[in-house]
Structure 1
Amino acid sequence: MAGSASRRRAGLSRDRVFEAALRIADTEGIEALSMRRLGRELGVEAMSLYHHVPDKAAIVAGLADRVFAEVTVPASEPAADWRPVLGSWLRALRATLLRHPGALPAVATHEVTAGPGLGLYEAALRLLHDAGFDLVEANYALNNLVTYTIGHCLAIAGRPPLGAAEPTAAQRDETSAALDRDRYPTVAAWLARIAGTSYDADALYEQGLTALLTGLPDPPSGG
């Protein structure tokens, strides 16, 4: 038994620790993540983990890096229009985040200063700068777009076991039937309009993304 435990400790690495942490976050939510729970997942004592990560905060930061590492920046021609290219980049980020809803709180609170996240930021910032944007304005634009994307993912990922499920069409119809139409006539009209339909998170995201990208002014010619 002691020999088996030693072999398991010897086989540990930072990558294995972060892989296990992401599995736990994906299946149980980040609130379930602890050194003890992580140790059980890896088949080692929790104290063994401190040889690879200093504390839980480092694990949370590592989770964000693991998620960012999965984002594939779409290839584009150097002279390509920056709006569709940046839109594709943000959709790739959204798709990756939605694959790991349990890790979203880690991504939302992680300050990107190194690693895969910084590589993504460099690529997007260079895209806008090459298009003629001032670097300060490019940074503002990216922060707004990424914040919107992460916030959207947080809002729609509230489903079991992480949160409340999106109401079904039947549940929305029940809400509509019980609504005080004299007090909330516009809400009642909206609920009647969408009766029997399902929630379209993709359409919601696309509307906001299009509005943000369209609202960004083109940089000065020859910027």
Structure 2
Amino acid sequence: MSRKLNPQQEAVLKSLNDPVRRRLFDFISQSAQPASRDEAAKAAGISRTLAAYHLDRLATAGLLAVSYARPEGKSGPGAGRTAKLYALAQEEVSVSLPARNYRLLGSLLANAASTDTSGVVLQALHQAAREEGKNLGQGSGELLPLLDELGYEPQADDQGEITMGNCPFHMVAQHQTQLVCSMNLQLVSGALEGCQMDCGLAELSPRAGRCCVVVHPQ
């Protein structure tokens, strides 16, 4: 039986089906700060006019968020036109056929776990998360590719410290922050153990714009 896509699903699929648009989306999603049309055009190897067209289509589909700012270091009269900037949208956009609502399921389970005053459910969640992380780590053998596959968008600096640019459970974490953060910690700690990364230590280090877990070299 054929299924008809809703307008948002059609917009998302069409947006990422174009190779140029995909390159632009990948560049914006990996940028630490909102990017201008000029920066995106240079990264994708296309003209500014073409970049503007595709970036606006991605924004219309809900994949990018738009903001406006003057060029850095310039203000007042003669500072130039306000630049249109693009960043990855914070609202999740997903396509599932047939329709599924795993976000609602996650929220319900998290709300139920948070009402358990005995601590038994939280302990079971931590154990399950750590075991799952360990099993995934043993299957992968490499920590950074595994964390990237899980949606954490890991970044390692020159000292070997790994920060996570994204929380895969962001929507649930907004309402059950402590629960989700503690689960993230156990999941990443298990992955470290499974990958046999004895030199790494995961700890909670919440900061705006990234996941709460940081991996420190011991």
The TM-score, its normalising length taken from structure 1, stands at 0.30
Higher relative contact order (CA 8 A, sep 6+): 1
Q: Whose helix fraction is larger, Structure 1's or Structure 2's? A: 1
Structure ranking higher in strand proportion? 2
Normalised to the residue count of structure 2, the TM-score between the two structures is 0.31
Greater C-alpha radius of gyration:
1
